Amino acid sequence: MKETAIVYCENNFGTMDGKTANGLVRSSRKFEIVGVIDSTKAGMDAGNYLIGEKNGIPIFKDLNQALENIQNVPDQFIYGIAPSEAFLKKDERNLLLKAMEHGMNIVNPLHEFFTDDPEFIKHAEQFNITIHDVRKPARKKDMHLFSGRILNIDTPIVAVLGTDSAIGKRTTSVLLEDALLKRGFNVAFIATGQTGLIQGAKYGVAIDAIPSQFMTGEIENQIMKAYENDNPDIIIVEGQGALSHPAYISSCGIIRGSRPGAVIIQHAPKREHLGDFSYMEMPTVKSEIDLIENFSKAKVIAVTINHENMSDDELAKTISEYEEDIKLPTTDVLKFGCDKLIASIFDAFPNLNGKQEKALIK
């Protein structure tokens, strides 16, 4: 059985910085989400607010209201915001201490590690709860340098990259994984950020918390674990940030470490500036494709659209324009599913067609 969890996302649910809460409301293989805390949207259904479909996850104004309305105290309290500064505010700190006092274990996705905090450690011991610092890396002596082992495998590897952070790369990756699983494929998903790991990914590492010397090796190691343990038909690798993004280097490590044979690129056509960097204009899809293909040996095989601030007519027009101008299959997986992506993957890796036939026979 899944453990129950409440997700804190004050003033950020449905926004870029609320991506951890957003992702958990959409999909969680590890936890049963029983509520979201965001006073600005209290009383709403989280699914209805986020995707226009009710999912029975209520939004509460604060922890007190949540505990008054949830039948049992949740097993886990998840901090569901991903702020660029990645550190706690004072009122949030007090809230976490209160959650501990109620007996809830803490799931922390920040770069600020609670297990290094004397007050949090003392509270955890006093109230017999656990703290999970999702981004806390292994000790350096246990990290991996790039070994080249990945060069010897022939399993198709597809990376889902993008033109900005918090643009939908993980969502597209998870939906693509689900669509391939439904077709009978054995799929390995490699999470590279805190949200994918909290959602329950079997393999992965929070790449932005890894020293740069070990980035490629840690990604390679996760892929090799999946390859050796599960013998997958295909490996999907979640991207982070953007290769062109001036503030992040995660995409470099992901491309170098995963050695993808193909890339799907996610873009938000109506986003004018990089998230959290309002002084930087968004790259174009074409410029990002050129950069990725020059930086790696991978080919970009499809484009996926984040439809934020777009009408259905604008979305349909953009998809048609991209397919005509860029000559790549283009879709919005939240609106139209993953059929175009799977077709582009079959074109890039023809051997998968045979595995599709075997899967259908089964």
Which pTM does this prediction carry?
Answer: 0.94
CATH superfamily of 142-361: P-loop containing nucleotide triphosphate hydrolases (3.40.50.300)
Distance between CA 341 and CA 273 in Å, rounded? 27
pLDDT for residue 89: 86
Is residue 81 within 8 A of residue 10, CB to CB? The reply is yes
Provide the CATH topology of domain 3-133. Answer: Rossmann fold (3.40.50)
Domain regions of the chain by residue span: 3-133, 142-361
* CATH topology match: 3-133 vs 142-361: yes
Residue 272's Cβ-side half-sphere holds a number of Cα atoms within 13 Å equal to 3
pLDDT for residue 195: 95
Q: Is 175 helix (H, G, I), strand (E, B) or coil?
A: helix
Q: How many degrees, rounded to 5, is the angle at CA 26 between CA 24 and CA 27?
A: 65
pLDDT along the chain (362 residues), means of 10: 95 94 94 98 97 95 97 97 80 96 97 96 98 96 97 97 96 97 96 96 96 97 98 98 95 97 98 92 98 96 97 98 98 97 97 70 52
